[in-house]
A and B are shown apart, each in its own frame.
Chain A
Amino acid sequence: MFAYIGRRIVQAIPVLITVTLVAFALIHLIPGDPVKIMLASRATPEAIATVRHQLGLDRPLPIQYVRFLLGALRMDFGNSLFLRAPIGPILRQRALVSLALLCYSILVSLVIAVPLAILSAIRRNRPTDHIVRMFSTFAFAMPAFWTGLLLVLFFSLRLKLFPTSGLGSGPINYIRSLTLPSITIGFYLAPVLLRSLRASVIETLIAEFVEAARARGLSERRVLFKHVLRNSLIAMITVLGINVGFLISGAVVIENIFALPGLGSLLVSSILARDYPVIQALTLVFGITVIVVNLLVDLSYAALDPRVRL
């Protein structure tokens, strides 16, 4: 297994280099110039030249890229053009918020999705199933900004249970402040997980080994949790893995609505400001995240399915 992990890490290196190279090329190809954005109406040719030189943007592009790569090897991403501060600490602080939000959201979605999926599958085509499926279609169809605002209106303004936005300080307030955003993401993520889990539970329920387990006289509960659920999880974990990669960079809307300083909103603001070093650093971080999550998903296959050997 360790050989396998080693191989995957080696394979990841060219992937990461390609990702950063493509991102670097794209961001320099699109129109827009950080110096002109910063100077705006004061962007006289002399001012542009001075600031560009101060920020090191007058160096040739290949040299800028190589400097970024060499820095990244030492985990030094340089300074943000716009925030005028080292990128490393900013990324770390925001990555923690993103990770906390991500884990909480996954927890919420699993709590919603797994029981409902099982319920729905064993009561297939009966009223319970229809209700669960209606709920999942409804939840999935709600745009996140809308769900978020509704939750805030009800739970924060009316019931005053949670803050409307922002990060709380202290353990209790921190978790409280992440609750509504996590439920909002959970509302989007749970139906996706629910549907794939329901489908594979239904498929597994009619499998021969389930029949055999029942024939051996195992209790229905034991059959369901030990044999059916376990064999059905692979599909859901795959879907989850894909979504984790997306959520770590794509929770922008949620981060904005709830004023959470995560990685997604940083990506958007740095793209708008053409903050090249921050965009490059974020691309690398997202690339690594996706690769790591994929690796974990693959490892989980081996743990769940004895036929998979790594």
Chain B
Amino acid sequence: MKKHLMSILSVFILLSLVFVAFPVWAGNGEEEAPLPAEEPIVEPEGPRRGGTIHFARDSEPATLNPIGANDNASIFALVQIFDTLVESTHAPDPQPAIAESWKVSDGGLTWTFKLRKARFSNGDPVTAEDVKFSIDRFADPDVNSFYAGFGAMIESTEIIDASTFRINLHTVNGAFLDYLSTFIPSIIPKKIYQEMGDEAFSEKPIGSGPFKVTEWTRGEKLILDRNPYYWKEGLPYVDRIIFYYVPDSNTRMLRVESGEAHIATEVPYSEIDRLDAIRGINVVIEDVMAWDAIWFNIRIPPLDDKNIRQALNYATPKEAMLKTLLHGAGDIANHVIAKVKYWDPSVPAYPYDMDKAKALMAKSKRPSGFSMPMLIVAGDPVERQQAEIVQAEWAKLGVKITIDAVDVGTIWDRWLSSEEMCFTLPGNALSSDALSDDNLALVFFDFTAGAQSFWTGWNNPKAIELVQKAGKTVDEDVRTEAFHEVQRLVMEEAPAVPLFFTKARTAIQDSVKGFSTLPVKWWNLEDVWLEE
């Protein structure tokens, strides 16, 4: 009997050891956790080559395939691996990348690109054939199902010669080049993609971007190494970037504090000051094309009354919310979408003015107020506090808000049903995918474009006309004027309460140089280097 007991015990211990140790044998023990970097005092002369950047992110990529990706976690990794014809930088317009230069003819219908001599990370040259293959996939709504609208204007593509490629459009589109600078038309090697198949390519793709995929362990980390064939001379500076997936924000910040990571994204608002005060750590706060707003369904009474919508705008204390909730990391929004290319800074935001709000309420259909539920995302403390402040302030107008906190999936389901009156998303949920306003304008202002003005039901013929007019021309003046007018119109009509233009908040070690967040929210990590 004793033997039995002993054997059970030993089997258990053996099993424990096997399970604890097995993954170790299975995994390949490549890189070590980084040593905490002590900050050097002397500034070296210029960028230093070499080193590994440990980068802690809040979310993990779902796929590494440019077609099929639709989440920021995937997108921000993809842009490190792939090149596009033109690329998104800090400039207001896309810059040359695989396309050295381009010519527009036929009043904007024909785009002829001169291709650069570049190589994929396996050494193969980037050919016109690869470019055509990639752009054709981008233009096919059945392949590019997530962003079909971005490539919908393409009629055909043709290879003129080995270094000349042409795209013919069936309709002029003012944002065409901006759409080409997104991650979706990334140039992929046709032959390799076809040999590997879509599934395998999505796991370990080959691109011509600054970095190449070395190892990807889902849920844990993505290791990217320098692409030795990258066309930008001398770049990237670092040998390796390791992205870690650290969902808990406290833990993510601890990674930087302990020196285990050089960079950690999405610093919680309440942690900005504390982290910034730590020696050797810097919190950088940068403008990106993201924003936060409370959305109304203006088809449901009494929200169909403009007086009420404006009153609620005046009754929202944005200044105070910005200071207490966002710790200053944002700007008060004077537009219901992000600050994109054609943003007009001169349009006034709604100030906090209870008297005006009460006067507007008195003029409205429901002078004594009404009740409505507000959908928010559960589990986000900032969202909750924001909703509670709004609830308290709007109550002064007799508008009783019941906060309905649900998960994101439920929010989309209920908001898209058009039966809800009011909802808001966390400040990092909405952002622009392209450098110009068109992609957002079609969703938020053009009721006929499919999303019913973001399901607010704002069906304004003038706004629709302006968005379409701006979209169908490459004339910058016409586009600027049209989008400025839409901005004034939508602020006046107020299908939403715009709150803030939110910002990127990143904690970085002092040893990291050249880091910046682009307006499109990702980073050109090829420019980053590490001090000794």
Tell me which of B23, B413, B450 contacts A31 (CB under 8 A): B413
> Is B147's CB under 8 angstroms from A42's CB?
yes
B53-71 interface bits toward A, Cβ cutoff 8 Å, 1 = contact, 0 = none: 0000000001101001011
User: Which residues of chain A (85-103) have a CB below 8 Å from chain B?
Assistant: 85-86, 90, 93-94, 96-97, 99-100, 102-103
Interface residues on B, range: 35 or more
CB-CB under 8 A from A175, the residues of chain B are 20-21, 24
> Is B258's CB under 8 angstroms from A156's CB?
yes
B36 lies within 8 A of chain A by Cβ: yes
B46 lies within 8 A of chain A by Cβ: no
> Is B33's CB under 8 angstroms from A273's CB?
no
Q: With both chains docked as a complex, state the minimum distance between the C-beta of A143 and any C-beta of chain B, in angstroms.
A: 13
Q: With both chains docked as a complex, state the minimum distance between the C-beta of A45 and any C-beta of chain B, in angstroms.
A: 7
A219 lies within 8 A of chain B by Cβ: no
> Is A42's CB under 8 angstroms from B20's CB?
no
> Is B247's CB under 8 angstroms from A256's CB?
yes
A107 lies within 8 A of chain B by Cβ: yes
Q: With both chains docked as a complex, state the minimum distance between the C-beta of B187 and any C-beta of chain A, in angstroms.
A: 20
A122-153 interface bits toward B, Cβ cutoff 8 Å, 1 = contact, 0 = none: 00000000000000000000000000010010
User: Which residues of chain B (244-292) have a CB below 8 Å from chain A?
Assistant: 244-248, 250-252, 254-255, 257-258, 260
A166 to B244, CA, bound (A): 8
A152 to B31, CA, bound (A): 22
User: Which residues of chain A (43-94) have a CB below 8 Å from chain B?
Assistant: 43-47, 50-51, 54, 82-86, 90, 93-94
CB-CB under 8 A from A149, the residues of chain B are 250
CB-CB under 8 A from A37, the residues of chain B are 408-409, 412
A6 lies within 8 A of chain B by Cβ: no
Binds B, one of A188-196, A202-210, A300-308: A300-308
> Is B16's CB under 8 angstroms from A104's CB?
yes
A230 to B413, CA, bound (A): 56
> Is B148's CB under 8 angstroms from A47's CB?
yes
CB-CB under 8 A from B245, the residues of chain A are 259, 261
> Is A94's CB under 8 angstroms from B219's CB?
yes
- Known contacts being A173-B33, A226-B2, is A38 close to B219, with CB within 8 Å? no
Binds B, one of A8-16, A17-25, A157-165, A283-291: A157-165
CB-CB under 8 A from B416, the residues of chain A are 36, 43
> Is A44's CB under 8 angstroms from B5's CB?
no
Q: With both chains docked as a complex, state the minimum distance between the C-beta of B415 and any C-beta of chain A, in angstroms.
A: 9
Binds A, one of B115-123, B138-146, B356-364, B498-506: B138-146
A163 to B221, CA, bound (A): 15
Tell me which of B13, B19, B70 contacts A38 (CB under 8 A): B70
> Is A165's CB under 8 angstroms from B255's CB?
yes
- Known contacts being A83-B63, A85-B203, A303-B4, is A259 close to B246, with CB within 8 Å? yes
A115 to B496, CA, bound (A): 63
> Is A157's CB under 8 angstroms from B149's CB?
no
A103 to B17, CA, bound (A): 8
CB-CB under 8 A from B44, the residues of chain A are none
Is chain A's binding surface mostly helix, strand, loop or mixed?
helix
B41 lies within 8 A of chain A by Cβ: no
> Is B451's CB under 8 angstroms from A169's CB?
no
A85 to B199, CA, bound (A): 7
Q: With both chains docked as a complex, state the minimum distance between the C-beta of A85 and any C-beta of chain B, in angstroms.
A: 7
Q: With both chains docked as a complex, state the minimum distance between the C-beta of B8 and any C-beta of chain A, in angstroms.
A: 5
B26 lies within 8 A of chain A by Cβ: yes
> Is B258's CB under 8 angstroms from A164's CB?
yes
A171 lies within 8 A of chain B by Cβ: yes
> Is A303's CB under 8 angstroms from B254's CB?
no
Question: Taking each of A41, A99, A100, A106, which has the highest tally of chain B beta carbons within 10 Å of its own beta carbon?
Answer: A41
> Is A41's CB under 8 angstroms from B451's CB?
yes
Q: With both chains docked as a complex, state the minimum distance between the C-beta of B420 and any C-beta of chain A, in angstroms.
A: 11
> Is A164's CB under 8 angstroms from B451's CB?
no
A239 lies within 8 A of chain B by Cβ: no
Q: With both chains docked as a complex, state the minimum distance between the C-beta of B404 and any C-beta of chain A, in angstroms.
A: 12
A241-257 interface bits toward B, Cβ cutoff 8 Å, 1 = contact, 0 = none: 00000000000000011
Residue of A nearest to B36 (CB): A160
A198 lies within 8 A of chain B by Cβ: no
A149 to B148, CA, bound (A): 45
A187 lies within 8 A of chain B by Cβ: no
> Is B247's CB under 8 angstroms from A157's CB?
no
Question: Taking each of B15, B26, B149, B250, which has the highest tally of chain A beta carbons within 10 Å of its own beta carbon?
Answer: B250
Residue of A nearest to B246 (CB): A259
A3 lies within 8 A of chain B by Cβ: no
> Is A39's CB under 8 angstroms from B218's CB?
no
User: Which residues of chain B (62-95) have a CB below 8 Å from chain A?
Assistant: 62-63, 65, 68, 70-71
A32 to B247, CA, bound (A): 22
> Is B220's CB under 8 angstroms from A164's CB?
no
Tell me which of B8, B199, B203, B248 contacts A256 (CB under 8 A): B248
A178 lies within 8 A of chain B by Cβ: yes
> Is A261's CB under 8 angstroms from B220's CB?
yes
Q: With both chains docked as a complex, state the minimum distance between the C-beta of B485 and any C-beta of chain A, in angstroms.
A: 22
CB-CB under 8 A from A45, the residues of chain B are 450
> Is A33's CB under 8 angstroms from B413's CB?
yes
B105 lies within 8 A of chain A by Cβ: no
CB-CB under 8 A from A300, the residues of chain B are 8
B346 lies within 8 A of chain A by Cβ: no
A99 to B29, CA, bound (A): 19
> Is B19's CB under 8 angstroms from A84's CB?
no
A54 to B21, CA, bound (A): 40
B162 lies within 8 A of chain A by Cβ: no
- Known contacts being A86-B199, A265-B219, is A169 close to B409, with CB within 8 Å? no
CB-CB under 8 A from B20, the residues of chain A are 100, 103-104, 174-175, 178
25 examples of A-B residue contacts, CB within 8 angstroms? A40-B429, A43-B412, A47-B146, A47-B450, A85-B199, A85-B202, A85-B203, A94-B219, A100-B20, A103-B16, A164-B251, A164-B254, A165-B255, A169-B31, A169-B32, A171-B21, A230-B5, A259-B220, A259-B246, A259-B247, A265-B219, A265-B247, A272-B407, A273-B409, A303-B8
**Which residues on A are within 8 Å of B, measured CB to CB?**
30-34, 36-47, 50-51, 54, 82-86, 90, 93-94, 96-97, 99-100, 102-104, 106-107, 149, 152, 156-157, 160, 163-171, 173-175, 178, 226, 230, 256-259, 261, 265-266, 272-274, 300, 303-304, 306
- Of all A-B residue pairs in the complex, the 8 with the closest CB atoms, nearest first, are A44-B450, A261-B219, A32-B409, A170-B29, A103-B16, A171-B24, A259-B246, A164-B254
A36-B413, A104-B16 known; 10 new pairs, CB 8 Å cut-off, are: A31-B409, A38-B71, A42-B451, A43-B416, A47-B145, A83-B62, A156-B254, A157-B257, A169-B31, A173-B32
**Which residues on B are within 8 Å of A, measured CB to CB?**
1-2, 4-5, 8, 13, 15-16, 19-33, 36, 62-63, 65, 68, 70-71, 141-142, 145-149, 199, 202-203, 217-221, 244-248, 250-252, 254-255, 257-258, 260, 406-410, 412-414, 416, 429-430, 443-444, 449-451, 454
